[in-house]
Every structure is written in C-alpha cells, then in structure tokens.
Structure 1
Amino acid sequence: MLPFGLGGKSLEKMLKKAGIKMYEIADAKRVIIETEEERIVIEQPKVIEIEVPGSAKAYQVIAQDVRVEKIEREGASVIEISDEDVKIVAEETGCSEEVARKALEETKGDIAEAILKLQESGC
C-alpha cells in the first residue's frame, strides 16, 4: 500500500484526474546510465513511463540486476586500484607494492592476470 492510504486503484484514479498517464514498458531489456567516469547497466528492469501534461516524459526504473563499469578515457586512467589489491599481488609474487600496483594498472585491475604476469616476468 502506498502512503496516505492510497492503493493502486486510488492512485490510478487520482493520476488520471490530474491528466498524468503511466505505462509500463513491458519489453524493456536494459537501461544504461552513463556519466563521465562510469556506466551503470541495469538488466531486465521494470520501467514505467510517466507522461505529465506540459512537461517532459519521466521514467521510473526498478532494478534488481545492476552492474557498474568504470569508463576509460584516452590519455587518462580511471581504474581505481585498491591498496588491498596491491598487497595481495605483492604478497603472492614477492614483488614490491610499487611493482604490484603497476602490474594491476597494466591489467586494468585484474588481480589474477597481474599475478601471472609478474610470476612469468619476475619483479
């Protein structure tokens, strides 16, 4: 039940009187939101389109399957390497944390790939 005792039918009637139309986009497969630094990907969302007279359309997205991807720009690295990841790679390979961090940056944060790379090439 919605706030103020409004159930689905009561709310639907109130919105209709105000001229607001709501539609579910039943076949929505994915919603993608991009910022300068990341891409938020929502798979199998429930999407409601809301039309308000004299206004732009609005969309409500309800998500369960969400992933956030970092966006790499040419000439700039936006991959964040945690100190914990650096310590793991350094401990597993016996390399310094500086070398471990560089390997993680080169492998775009992939811990396993960084370890293998350092084990093959040495510190």
Structure 2
Amino acid sequence: MFGGGGLDPRKMQQMMEQMGIDTSDIDAEEVIIRTADEDLVFTSPEVQRISAQGQATYQIVGEPDTRDTSDDTAEDGREAIPEDDVEIVVQRTGVSTDEAREALEAEDGDLAAAVSRLE
C-alpha cells in the first residue's frame, strides 16, 4: 500500500493515524468462519481490527482446521446438536446422553440454558 520496504513501524503508525485508520490487536482464542458446507476454525489466531471511515475490517492470521457441516442438519431442517455440546452437558450434569440432547434441543442448542434446565 505504501511501498514501505524500509519504513519505520512507528512512522507507519503515524501515517495511518493521519489517514484516520486505527488498528488494534484482539486477543482471540478461536475464530470460526461458518459457510453452508464447512466451518473454518482458527485456533489461537492473530486477529487485528482495522477501523477506517466508520467501517471495521478484521484480519485473521493462522491456519484453519476445516469441519464439514453439509450434513449437520436434523431431519426437520434445524441445526443438529453437536456431539461435543452433548458431552459437555453430560459431564456438567451427570445425565444420560439422550437427556442432554433433549435439553439442548429444548433450549435451541444453548449450553448454559440446557445445563440450568437439568440442574
């Protein structure tokens, strides 16, 4: 953008501020980009927010794991409950897998609400 091959990072920051561009790092643990067919899951990514002219842009640096989601819908067209979520509810409450799944379905997949329902 600036061709700043030997440009001092402090000078670059000053130039960006003068142009109304603000950058900030975000201490993200995980970023998920969900598409119709797959989830791109970035674990421990470097995330930077760039704000300019009232618009925010997010830059993600890292290598994603890909999860296929094309078959993650239940027969009624709703999103299927992930097995990991069922296991979390089972571990927190000590109920059976079926009871955990029913609670999650009743709470539209909300983990905290499902656990509260069963405690």
- Structure 1 residue 67 corresponds to structure 2 residue 65: yes
Residues 62-97 of structure 1: per-residue CA shift (max 9 Å, x gap): 114x2001113347xxxxxxxxxxxxxxxxxxxxxx
Normalised TM-score (structure 1): 0.51
Larger Rg: 1
Structure 1, gaps ≥5 residues long: 76-123
1:19 Cα offset (Å):
1.0
Partner of 1:46: 46
1:24 Cα offset (Å):
0.4
- Structure 1 residue 15 corresponds to structure 2 residue 11: no
Query: For residues 19 and 38 of structure 1, what CA distance do their matches in structure 2 show?
Result: 36
Whether the 8 Å CA contact 2:36–2:70 is kept in 1: the answer is no
Query: For residues 6 and 39 of structure 1, what CA distance do their matches in structure 2 show?
Result: 38
Structure 2, gaps ≥5 residues long: 76-119
Aligned CA RMSD, in angstroms, stands at: 1.9
Runs of 4+ in 1 over 6 A off after TM superposition: none
Whether the 8 Å CA contact 2:33–2:41 is kept in 1: the answer is yes
Aligned length: 71
Whether the 8 Å CA contact 2:22–2:51 is kept in 1: the answer is yes
